[in-house]
């Protein structure tokens, strides 16, 4: 396959994924990012954010009085139908934790990328008893919130060990 054909194929696949996200969402926010990539910066930010071209935020509608089953269906729509093809297209693209899907399937990689192992070792060193917890935070794999059947995860139940 020629270089030009590869570029066209990549652009076509990108268009198909973005078109599907638009067709299956209530609202899409897409903005050009192009952040600075300063050398030797060591922090917790997913390295993907240093080289990305754009960021997409999608909203899937659910009614205010939705049942747990309806909320679960809306969550599945966002996770699998809207964001799934985009994850497949950019497997190391990352996700911004503050505006992420609450059931992000690969959250360690998506939120922190290659930084996760280092951040986990720091967490284990300074918080060996897991006193500090945050949903999908570094080292939170050993915990879950028992909040009953809400259809989507919440943080207003009992914090339990896995």
The CA R_g of the chain, rounded to the nearest whole Å, is 18
d(Cα 107, Cα 104) in Å, to the nearest integer?
5
pLDDT, tens only, 47-61: 888 778 888 889 898
User: HEC profile for 25-57?
Assistant: CCEEEEEECCCCCCCCCCCCCCHHHHCCCEEEE
This prediction has a pTM of 0.81
pLDDT, tens only, 63-85: 989 999 999 999 999 999 999 99
Range of the domain at 19: 3-161
Alpha helical stretches, state H, 38-115: 68-76, 84-89, 107-112
The answer, yes or no, to whether residue 4 has pLDDT greater than 60, is no
Q: Which residue has the higher pLDDT, 16 or 128?
A: 128
In this prediction, residues 93-118 reach a mean pLDDT of: 90
d(Cα 10, Cα 24) in Å, to the nearest integer?
21
How many structural domains compose the chain?
1
């Amino acid at each position: 396959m020629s270089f030009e054909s590869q570029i066209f194929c990549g652009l076509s696949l990108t268009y198909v994924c973005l078109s599907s996200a638009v067709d299956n969402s209530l609202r899409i926010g897409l903005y050009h990012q192009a952040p600075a990539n300063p050398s030797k910066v060591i922090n917790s930010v997913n390295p993907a954010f240093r080289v990305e071209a754009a960021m997409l935020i999608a909203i899937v509608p659910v009614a205010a009085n939705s049942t747990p089953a309806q909320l679960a269906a809306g969550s599945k729509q966002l996770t699998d139908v809207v964001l799934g093809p985009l994850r497949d297209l950019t497997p190391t693209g990352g996700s911004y934790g503050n505006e992420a899907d609450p059931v992000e399937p690969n959250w360690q990689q998506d939120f922190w990328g290659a930084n996760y192992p280092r951040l986990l070792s720091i967490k284990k060193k300074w918080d060996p008893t897991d006193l500090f917890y945050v949903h999908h935070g570094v080292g939170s794999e050993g915990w879950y919130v028992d909040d009953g059947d809400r259809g989507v995860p919440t943080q207003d139940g009992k914090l339990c060990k896995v």
